[in-house]
């Protein structure tokens, strides 16, 4: 076996080996390695990866291996959490269909956010009754032949969701409407969004995209297949977030029951669109209004004050908001409506 056969695709001249390495490499060039010996003594890739990690010019990513059992002993009560992901024919839940649904159920120590005990998994394909569009096929790798005649196992899904304290999806605003359209009984569940309910920038992460979060932790995985996305999200949420003082699971479980608000920048001037977009507002094409989500009444008050000054220039404005709890959040259902009156020195919530 030659050194060229051992190459990992980088310039070995830039990576200083250990003192003993040169003699070993010279022997490797001259030694005759039979197929049997090659099979019996494969290169220690983990050792090579550990060495490579010590070099400042390289970063090693490892394939994420799903966990089926966690040995952590809970310090107190546990939460029954279901990580959920869908793959669909498109983006419109009123027209498009689920083609794959995966759930990963695990018990979480409420105090530490660590998983405990066995992991239960379901992954099923669904025939959408329509050809899968090219874009969906290219993103997911799921073909018409794979889903032909397939149906979700509703009994198995119900058993995993039964008694769940929280369902978590990475972009619940997308997944929840699709799931409720297919399985209406899920409307009674509490949901959280790991994409929107965690301030990943404040937590020290450069992106909220799931594959990027996994990469920052040293993992890669086959994205855009529902079950693997669930395992990746569980691993990401179990990682500590030092800037938040807890991991993602602990944060989501503790914050899920607090009310959140959907605030509409009603009648915002057109020239403020870039300012609103940069602040995280989204455009509702049907309602023709910019809107954002806020995590509590204090945040709502502060946002109204910012809008009054930065967007409305102190002018009179009356903004609509909706208060949501975990049972309605990220669904298509309306929350409890109210108004914010910007006429006063301190915006009043009505």
* Whether residue 336 has pLDDT greater than 90: yes
Stretch 323-348: mean pLDDT, rounded? 85
Residue pLDDT, tens place only, 48-62? 888 888 998 988 999
d(CA 32, CA 2): 9
Please choose, from the candidates 202, 199, 232, 198, the residue with its C-alpha nearest in 3D space to the C-alpha of residue 217.
232
Identify the pLDDT of residue 167. Answer: 98
Residue pLDDT, tens place only, 36-49? 545 555 678 888 88
Q: What percent of the chain has pLDDT over 90?
A: 75
Identify the pLDDT of residue 76. Answer: 94
Please choose, from the candidates 144, 232, 154, the residue with its C-alpha nearest in 3D space to the C-alpha of residue 186.
154
The yes/no answer on whether domain 69-255 falls in CATH 3.30.420.10 is yes
Please choose, from the candidates 240, 220, 242, the residue with its C-alpha nearest in 3D space to the C-alpha of residue 232.
220
Identify the pLDDT of residue 40. Answer: 56
204 vs 2 pLDDT, higher one: 204
User: Could you tell me the residue ranges of all domains in the chain?
Assistant: 3-58, 69-255, 260-349
d(CA 303, CA 275): 13
Stretch 291-297: mean pLDDT, rounded? 91
* Whether residue 320 has pLDDT greater than 90: yes
Please choose, from the candidates 101, 110, 97, the residue with its C-alpha nearest in 3D space to the C-alpha of residue 136.
97
Identify the pLDDT of residue 343. Answer: 73
Q: Is 299 helix (H, G, I), strand (E, B) or coil?
A: helix
Identify the pLDDT of residue 35. Answer: 57
* Whether residue 1 has pLDDT greater than 70: no
* Whether residue 6 has pLDDT greater than 90: no
**What are the DSSP calls for 115-142, one per residue?**
EEEEEEEEEEE---SSPPPHHHHHHH--
Identify the pLDDT of residue 5. Answer: 36
Residue pLDDT, tens place only, 77-136? 999 999 999 999 999 999 999 999 999 999 999 999 999 999 999 999 999 999 999 999
State the average pLDDT for the chain. Answer: 88
**21 pLDDT band (50/70/90 cuts)?**
very low
* Whether residue 32 has pLDDT greater than 90: no
Identify the pLDDT of residue 349. Answer: 64
Phi, psi angle pair for 192, to nearest 5°: -140, 155
Please choose, from the candidates 132, 123, 134, 129, the residue with its C-alpha nearest in 3D space to the C-alpha of residue 100.
123
Please choose, from the candidates 103, 128, 107, the residue with its C-alpha nearest in 3D space to the C-alpha of residue 116.
107
Q: How many DSSP H helices and E strands does the chain contain?
A: 13, 16
* Whether residue 318 has pLDDT greater than 80: yes
* Whether residue 30 has pLDDT greater than 90: no
**4 pLDDT band (50/70/90 cuts)?**
very low
**What are the DSSP calls for 156-175, one per residue?**
HHHHHHTT-SEEEETTHHHH
Residue pLDDT, tens place only, 217-261? 999 999 999 999 999 999 999 999 988 899 999 999 999 989 999
Q: What angle do CA 338, 340, 343 make, to 5 degrees?
A: 145
């Amino acid at each position: 076996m030659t050194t060229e056969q051992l190459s990992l695709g980088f310039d070995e001249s830039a990576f200083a080996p250990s003192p003993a390495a040169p003699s070993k490499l010279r022997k490797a060039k001259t030694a005759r390695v039979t197929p049997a010996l090659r099979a019996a003594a494969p290169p220690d890739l983990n050792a090579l990866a550990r060495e490579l990690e010590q070099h400042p010019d390289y970063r090693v990513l490892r394939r994420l291996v799903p966990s089926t059992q966690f040995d952590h002993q809970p310090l107190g009560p546990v939460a029954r959490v279901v990580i959920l992901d869908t793959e669909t024919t498109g983006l419109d839940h009123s027209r498009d269909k689920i083609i794959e649904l995966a759930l990963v159920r695990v018990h979480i120590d409420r105090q530490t956010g660590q998983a405990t005990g066995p992991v239960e998994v379901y992954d099923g394909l669904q025939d959408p009754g329509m050809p899968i569009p090219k874009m969906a096929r290219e993103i997911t790798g799921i073909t018409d032949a794979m889903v032909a005649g397939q149906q979700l196992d509703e009994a198995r899904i119900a058993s995993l969701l039964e008694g769940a304290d929280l369902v978590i999806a990475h972009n619940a605003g997308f997944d929840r409407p699709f799931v409720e359209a297919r399985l209406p009984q899920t409307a009674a569940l509490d949901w959280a969004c790991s994409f929107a309910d965690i301030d990943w920038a404040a937590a020290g992460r450069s992106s909220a995209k799931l594959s990027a979060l996994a990469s920052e932790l040293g993992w890669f995985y086959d994205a855009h297949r529902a079950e693997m996305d669930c395992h990746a999200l569980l691993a990401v949420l179990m990682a500590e977030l030092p800037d938040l003082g807890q991991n993602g699971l602990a944060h989501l479980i503790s914050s899920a029951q607090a009310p959140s608000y959907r605030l509409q920048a009603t009648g915002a001037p057109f020239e403020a669109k870039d300012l609103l977009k940069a602040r995280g507002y989204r455009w509702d094409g049907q309602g023709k209004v910019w809107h954002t989500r806020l995590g509590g009444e204090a945040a709502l008050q502060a946002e109204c004050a910012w809008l009054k000054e930065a967007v409305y220039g102190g002018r009179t404005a009356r903004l609509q908001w909706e208060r949501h709890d975990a049972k309605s959040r990220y669904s298509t259902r309306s929350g409890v409506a109210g108004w914010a009156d910007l006429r006063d020195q301190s915006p009043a919530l009505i």
